Amino acid sequence: MPTVDILVTEIGSTTTVVNAFDGVGTPTPTFVAQGQAPTTVLDGDVTIGVKQAIEDLKKNLGVDDLSWQEMLGTSSAAGGLKMTVHGLVHDMTVKAAEDAALGAGAVIKMITTGKLRERQVDEIENKKPNIILLAGGVDYGDEETILHNAEMLSKLDRSIPVIYGGNKAIRGEIKEIFAPTEMELLIVDNVYPEIDQFNIEPTREVIQDVFEDHIIYAPGMDKINDWVTGPIMPTPGAVMNGAKLLKEVIGDLIVFDVGGATTDLHSVTDGAEEIQDILISPEPVAKRTVEGDLGVFVNAKNVANRIGYKQLKEELGIDVASLVEDKAPIPKNKEEERLIERLTEEAVKVAIERHAGSFKEVYGPSGRTTIASGKDLTLVKWIIGTGGALTQLDNNRNLLGQVRVKKARKKLFPTLNAQVLIDEDYIFASLGVIGKEYPEAAINLMKQSLQITDDIIEKEEAK
């Protein structure tokens, strides 16, 4: 029976993918093969889809059986990790907490600022979050609002983790408030310890730990926990981890992950110094935005409505309405492929529009001044495409190249200097998981899939 080192299963909203890797831990790791199958949430057990994907993997390898040394996993099935975020001021502590949650792969269902009210607590209860993130106040700053919010949240008194990433001066009082409840309190470093300073990595790590230890996302996920020998990460968190690893080797980058339900955009860049000098509020180096209305299967209707059915019919010359209604997760013919390409193009365009920062003109006593807000992407060197939809398109490079501009004017988009790379093997999320334990192997395999050599990196650095 053939054996591989690592099998990584990715349970997505529409498709389950299994990737096999060998030679991990050696100087020459290899991607062996991939298997795919529809995700089987609606069948009541996601392991059905995993088993089918493994069977497809064995078929692609031409073997009757297969074993592995380790199995790792990612999941975004059943809507991902639901969180609510509560802080003091939106552009400060709430924004820091929100970035930490999104970067870890969470789906934020509710955000509040200032003092919580009874009506808002009722709304939190109705949202049924998997995790609550409570922040607020720089260290040794505001105490009253955070303590009030802790008291209000403690009224929920249900078995749910509460992460506290606020003013460290009142950690003792926060512990006392939640001690009598069933809520598990997890204390991390303040996400906004000083004015204009983000510290979101500790919170990201704890959110991912909670994902693995406490959350069962979809029917059958408890069985997956028994199968894996390493961590199960939220798929977006795995992509972010891969992006951060790769940035240290090739430089500033963004990663588009276009899926069936969402389009995620990850950026890892400090931005230009001249832009930082005029930013009205700080931005994290690593940032993720998730567009829950932009997907090419579950949310295909939303994207089609954005474009317009009449416009789509004129562009593609096909009966778009019936295709959108009956489309399968994996395209069955050329017409569906053309539709997915057009929907993906729209998802990419809207995602970067929402993710990128912008210049603004303000007027004061001294006249007109230019300021900037949001994420600066102007120094991005690499635009990477991954995800089941994007990686399969013949025109994916040209599609991603359209997000570049000659010069940043109103929006802080990547410039024409940025190069487009495609995750040809569709393994980026898997490598983000592998990278937790085997970072060198993960980076090596990323470079193979992106078809990027040391010569290409050296040329880019020399510019």
Q: What is the pLDDT along the chain (463 residues), one digit of tens a residue?
A: 799 999 999 988 778 999 999 999 899 999 999 999 988 877 778 889 999 999 999 999 999 999 999 999 998 765 556 899 999 988 788 888 888 877 666 778 899 999 999 999 999 999 989 899 999 989 999 899 999 999 999 999 888 999 999 999 999 999 999 999 999 999 999 999 998 788 888 888 888 777 666 554 567 777 777 888 876 888 888 999 999 999 999 999 999 999 887 889 999 999 999 999 998 888 899 999 888 778 888 788 888 888 988 898 888 888 777 777 766 666 777 887 888 899 999 999 999 999 999 998 887 777 788 889 899 999 999 999 998 888 989 999 999 999 999 987 889 999 999 999 999 999 999 999 999 999 999 999 999 999 998 777 777 776 6
Tokens of 105: 């792969």
Q: How many Cβ atoms are within 10 Å of 168's Cβ, its own excluded? A: 18
Query: What span, in angstroms and rounded, lies between the C-alpha atoms of 304 and 457?
Result: 38
Query: Is-contact 234 78, C-beta < 8 A?
Result: no
Q: How far apart are CA 253 and CA 268, in angstroms?
A: 6
Task: Enumerate domains of the chain plus CATH numbers.
Answer: 3-78+218-227 (3.30.420.40), 81-214 (3.40.50.360), 232-462 (no CATH)
**DSSP class of residue 6?**
E
| pTM (two decimals) | 0.82
Q: Is 204 left (phi over 0), alpha (psi -120 to 50) or beta?
A: alpha
Q: Are 327 and 301 in contact (CB under 8 A)?
A: no
Reference 105, options 354, 288, 292, 246; nearest CA is 288
